[in-house]
Structure 1
Amino acid sequence: MNPEVETNAMGIAHLLSQNTGAGLIPLILLVLMSLGTCYFALLKLWLGIREQRLNARFVAEFWQHESLLEMEQQLARTPPQESHGRVTQAALGAMAQLGRAQERAVSLKLGSPDDFLLRALRQAITMERIRLEQGLAFLASVGSAAPFVGLFGTVWGIYHALLAIGAAGQSGLDKVAGPVGEALIMTGFGLAVALPAVLIYNFFVRRNRLKLAALDDFAYDLFALLVTGFEQSASNVTQLSDIESAKRETIKKGQM
């Protein structure tokens, strides 16, 4: 009966009871990594769905406004909470700055007005890219580090199991297989934590590419509207090529 009782006692509960101090650190780290992965996944998913809805509503309202002045006043009254609104606000702010400089006959020394607007759009899109990538570094770190944390827990558990077996003077296979197999649970736990983090990371990376592609497309239309109106002239094709090429590259990456 005693061997059966000892065999049945093997498991996570027995592993926790046999490990103290440094032996519990890998397990605590893996639990924190797993909780952090769930937190970032749920948070970014909720924020993404919310912002997607706000962006769709903003774009629909944007093309229904009679003038850009009306849109600028609306953005001044209600700060935008979506990426398209923030990019529009940055573009309109750049146009207002250009207008004030022309009224005062002041040279901005930043190139042509089109280049100044283009830089404002690029900076706004860069800020949106940084905001979208928040939390991805944590997910990538969990995906790469969790297996090694679990492996360290396994090595530490095997080390203490062998010390206990040596001190008891029992070297039979049945005495070694139980504690060693029990220690291998930490490796499986590390892989179980790393795999969801990698999948979630890849999901949000692709999702961000599609969002940035849509944002680049909107920025292209906004640039054309502010510079040339709804019709593009041949002289503006070169100035718009940078945004257009970036948009195509992002779309291609998102489809891969």
Structure 2
Amino acid sequence: MNLAQFFWQGDALTRSVALLLLAMSVGSWVVILWKSWLLHRASGDVARCVAAFWQSTNVEEASLKIKAFDRGALVLPMVEAIKIEPDDTLACVGNRAQQLTRVLRNALHGALAKLQHGQVLLATVGATAPFVGLLGTVWGIYHALIGIANAGQVTIDKISGPVGESLIMTAAGLMVAIPAVLAFNVLGRAVTRIEAELEGFARDLRELGNAGLDTIAVKR
């Protein structure tokens, strides 16, 4: 029996479990491929943006340079955030250090949210896919027991099909969960590394902003 025959010969619950596992697998692989590309690009962009910032003579020049490198908009919002303009809103209450901490924290949280996007899906798939497969396993065993009860005796033809369905569902659940768990761990380490770089840069920006952006310029 091939997979197509297994799918069409199953009942509504068996088909639902199979389709759910398929959707979870497709969704997790889309996230894996997309985040792998995104994090690879972000790692290089952040390094280039930080280098461009410190090689600039002022913040305006740095912003122009960073726009060319920051394709994921991870660094530029933090650089723009330190250009605080006083106004009458509560956002400007407090001294400059407090204002810088607030705006940089908000910009940093926005960048981290972009990096973390998709991790929840991978964690959810990795945690739930085995149990979804287990549901199909239990249902297959149930069909095997029903077949034995109806036949009044144990025959291989009555239990082979349902037990085969059970084994397939168990394997399918593991095949969906394992890549998601591995990707969650590997991509999570990449996210953590980029987060550390951004947090360090944010601390440097806060110190630079406290020194007074209007008076800072590199003499050539």
Fold match (TM-score > 0.5): yes
The answer for the alignment partner of 1:45 in structure 2 is 36
State the TM-score, normalized to the length of structure 1: 0.72
Whether 1:124 aligns to 2:107 is yes
State which of 147, 150, 154 in structure 1 corresponds to 2:133.
150
CA distance in 2 between partners of 1:107 and 1:24 (Å)? 56
Larger mean Cα displacement after TM superposition, 83-92 or 12-21: 12-21
CA–CA distance in structure 2, aligned partners of residues 193 and 217 of structure 1: 36
User: Which structure: larger Rg?
Assistant: 1
RMSD: 2.8
CA distances 1:182-214 after superposition (whole Å, capped 9, x unpaired):
022201211111111111112222221111111
Match of 1:160 in 2: 143
In the aligned structure 2, how far is the partner of 1:229 from the partner of 1:14?
A: 72
Higher relative contact order (CA 8 A, sep 6+): 2
Q: 1:33 to 1:168 in 2, by over 3 A?
A: same
User: 1:154 and 1:204, CA in 2 relative to 1: closer, same or farther beyond 3 A?
Assistant: same
* 8 A contact 1:19–1:157 mirrored in 2: no
Q: How is 1:146-225 mapped onto 2 (pairs within 5 angstroms)?
A: 146-172=129-155, 174-175=156-157, 177-182=159-164, 183-225=166-208
Indicate the larger mover: 191-200 or 57-66: 57-66
Determine whether 1:134 maps to 2:117. yes
Question: Structure 2 regions of 5+ residues with no counterpart?
Answer: 214-220
Secondary structure in structure 1 of the residue aligned to 2:56: coil
CA contact (8 A) 2:144 2:163 kept: no
Q: TM-score, normalised by structure 2?
A: 0.83
Which of 23, 30, 42 is equivalent to 2:14?
Answer: 23
Give deviations 1:207-247, integer Å, cap 9, x for gaps: 211111111111122222222279xxxxxxxxxxxxxxxxx
Structure 1: gaps of 5 or more residues: 1-8, 231-256
Task: Report the Cα distance in structure 2 between the residues aligned to 1:17 and 1:221, rounded to whole angstroms.
Answer: 61
Quickly say closer, same or farther: Cα 1:107–1:164, change in 2 above 3 A.
closer
Give the total of aligned pairs. 211
